[in-house]
Amino acid sequence: IKNIGVFTSGGDAPGMNAAIRSVVRSATYYGFDVTGIRRGYEGMINGELFAMDRKSVSNIIQRGGTILKTARSEQFKTPEGRKLAYEQLKKHNVDALVAIGGDGTFTGARIFGQEYDIPVVGLPGTIDNDLSGTDFTIGYDTAINTVIDAVDKIRDTAESHDRVFIIEVMGRDSGLIALRTGIASGAEAIIIPETKTDLNNLCERLEHSRKDKLSKIVIVAEGEDAGGAFEIGRHVKERFPHYDTRVSILGHIQRGGRPSCMDRVLASRVGVAAVEALRDGHRNEMVGVIHNEISYTPFEHACKHTVEINPAFLKIVEILAI
């Protein structure tokens, strides 16, 4: 390997810049050239490639978003798109890749790595934390802290008005943001895609938890199966006309902001490990951290959506909402 290409793809996540910095600096340290690729697979296809050095990543470790920009590419899903991407890599002498993203990114990387003789390793970059093969993904810690900051603020007004708030958080197919932030914000209930939602049961919970208190918080993961936060809000309003119910969708605020210390350290750690993995002959694997040790997980396992919800967490919510 002489020249490592690095890119971010899919939804951005705080800490992606720290990961880019780590890949560029460690590749330089080990004597590789580095090529930055803008806008993920889309930019790879369009030839948005440029040389990077240690100075290109100065003063970015603390910044949210991604300096390389990101995109979700439809073209890369086609063999023709991937062929164009490979031709661009050849043209720019890129002979290995570090892909920073989530399951869509790794699905693309796995297919690409099978079709073409180019080693690819991945770094887990998504606020959703929905990848197997790492305890935490880059961006998750920052996102959940952003969420609890917002929910704390909503609670101030909820308490003042004695209102019920249904708050929707991100996590397309995963309730992991909802689960932790629900516990940390003292929510009365959490609704997540991993468990079947019973709205009658939710209403009973609301009725029986903290009887002396009219203000309640329900955290809803966007991917749940009850029709979304507004539908849940409508149901609660219908059942309890005496509750003053409001719905709040936190949205993309969860993806922005300065990365937390934990995300910067995780990104720096797996960035170095990714370059070392390429040097040592790894390919088609995601580099993560499990039990504080670097781990390597084949792309197909990392994206299997097998991240399990710990039922003890749900029980904690129930117990503490007494």
Does the protein bind ligand F6P through residue 119 (CB under 6 A)? no
Does the protein bind ligand F6P through residue 40 (CB under 6 A)? no
**Which residue stretch of 73-81, 107-115, 168-176, 261-269 sits at the interface with ligand F6P (rule: CB under 6 A)?**
168-176
**Which residue stretch of 59-67, 115-123, 126-134, 192-200 sits at the interface with ligand F6P (rule: CB under 6 A)?**
126-134
Say whether 216 counts as a known binding-site residue.
no
Is-catalytic flag, 128?
yes
Does the protein bind ligand F6P through residue 170 (CB under 6 A)? yes
Q: How far is the CB of 55 from ligand F6P (least distance, A)?
A: 30
Instruction: Considering the candidates 12, 33, 95, 128, report the single residue annotated as catalytic.
Output: 128
Does the protein bind ligand F6P through residue 102 (CB under 6 A)? yes
Of 282-301, binders to ligand F6P (CB under 6 A) are none
Say whether 94 counts as a known binding-site residue.
no
Say whether 252 counts as a known binding-site residue.
yes
Closest to ligand F6P by CB, 105 or 185? 105
Does the protein bind ligand F6P through residue 66 (CB under 6 A)? no
* Spatial CB neighbours of 218, under 8 Å, sequence gap ≥ 6: 164, 165, 166, 167, 187, 188, 189, 190, 191, 202, 206, 232, 236
Specify the residue for token string 């609670």: 155
Q: How far is the CB of 173 from ligand F6P (least distance, A)?
A: 8
Please say whether the beta carbons of 82 and 76 come within 8 A: yes
Q: How far is the CB of 193 from ligand F6P (least distance, A)?
A: 11
**Which residue stretch of 24-32, 57-65, 166-174, 302-310 sits at the interface with ligand F6P (rule: CB under 6 A)?**
166-174
Q: How far is the CB of 59 from ligand F6P (least distance, A)?
A: 26
**Long-range contacts of the stretch 212-215 (C-beta < 8 A, 24+):** 214/162, 214/163, 214/164, 214/243, 214/244, 215/155, 215/158, 215/159, 215/161, 215/162, 215/163, 215/164, 215/165
Does the protein bind ligand F6P through residue 65 (CB under 6 A)? no
By annotation, the residues acting in catalysis are 128
